[in-house]
Amino acid sequence: MTDKCWFVLRQTHYPPPSIPATGTKASASGAICLGHLIPDLKHLDQVINSESGPKPYPATMSVLETSKWELKWNINSSSSTSASVSVNVPAALLPVGTNTSVGAAFKKSVCNYWEFERLDTAIVQLRRSYIDDSLEDKDVQRFLEGKKVLGMKSWTLYMISGIVIARGAQIVSAEENESSGAHAAGGVNVQGAADISASAERAKDTSTKQSWTKASDFVWAVRLTKIKKGLFEDDDNWKMETAAKGATFSKGSGNDTEAKVEGDLVAEGLDLARDVTVLKDEGGDFVIIPNLGSPT
């Protein structure tokens, strides 16, 4: 069981932040920092409190840093779905018997191969007092005010509690293919006359490729803490948990745990067939990788 679930950014142009010593009055600086707040899992880089930056980390919230060397990521996955339905109108109800069928098919394949000279990780164990202070930021308050309904508000935010810095990264290959199709066919049978039928088909194929062999250091992935307040709860009566919660609280293992993580991502509005690929590495960490065409 692990509490580490990492969300990979689509962009590779955010440089590593400057992280000051814990317990000082200095704040971290950079486009993506520990303590930044974002609105949801589809917009990992849209920081709400970007103007003032994250609050200084208190002495009780130490930044823990580790490194891994010479990593290789090889991701291959494919999925397909299909569905069809037919509708029959009984002749007893209408003088004309009608038969209609509709079908759809979707297939996706992902093949990514990345290499890193080193991945540096920095995480913090967030304190409620730190989150309370961060929620008082004027930009955050303005965002929360927009969540009011009839004078009451429920809201969900995500605070960045971990970052992964990629150093010496290269994409050997990254390729995604999608194909989708739909068809409809209808038939009308009139007694004593020949069958009359009509059909239509639609198909779409897309393919995206990219590769590069050298890049400057950048923020590769983030770990998130979900902060949520219910509609009838006081502003200071919020709850927090690591996103996705299945990686934290699941008692299962293997595919069962992965299914819980996937279910949690679907509950957050992500389409697993189109938006992301879920990968579990040898260390038990879940890595959520956005597909090339997704908004994440």
Q: Which residues pair with 2 in a beta bridge?
A: none
Structure-block tokens of residue 262: 């996937």
Residue by residue, pLDDT tens for the chain (296 residues) are: 345 789 988 888 899 999 887 777 788 999 999 999 999 998 999 999 988 889 999 988 989 999 988 777 666 655 555 555 544 444 444 444 444 455 555 555 555 667 888 999 999 999 999 999 999 999 999 998 887 765 667 889 999 999 999 998 887 666 666 655 555 555 544 444 444 444 555 555 666 666 667 788 999 999 999 999 887 777 678 998 888 764 543 334 445 667 778 888 888 888 877 788 787 766 677 888 887 666 66
pLDDT at 115: 82
What is the helix, strand, coil percentage profile of the chain, to 5? 10, 50, 40
Of 226, 234, 91, 244, the residue nearest 160 (C-alpha): 226
Comparing CA positions, the residue from 68, 294, 46 lying closest to residue 168 is 68
Task: Look up the pTM and report it.
Answer: 0.72
pLDDT at site 265? 85
**In angstroms, rounded to a whole number, what is the distance separating the alpha carbons of residues 115 and 121?**
16
What are the distances in angstroms from CA 220 to CA 48, 110, 166, 180, 293? 19, 19, 6, 30, 17
What beta strand segments (E) does the chain contain?
Answer: 5-8, 37-38, 64-89, 97-123, 148-149, 152-153, 155-189, 196-212, 218-229, 239-243, 276-280, 286-290
Residue 21 and residue 110: Cα distance in Å, rounded?
40
CA 148 to chain centre: 25
The neighbour count for residue 255, using CB atoms within 10 Å, is 10
Token representation of residue 106: 């979707």
d(CA 116, CA 219): 13
Is residue 1 within a helix (H) or strand (E), and if so which, with residue range?
Answer: none
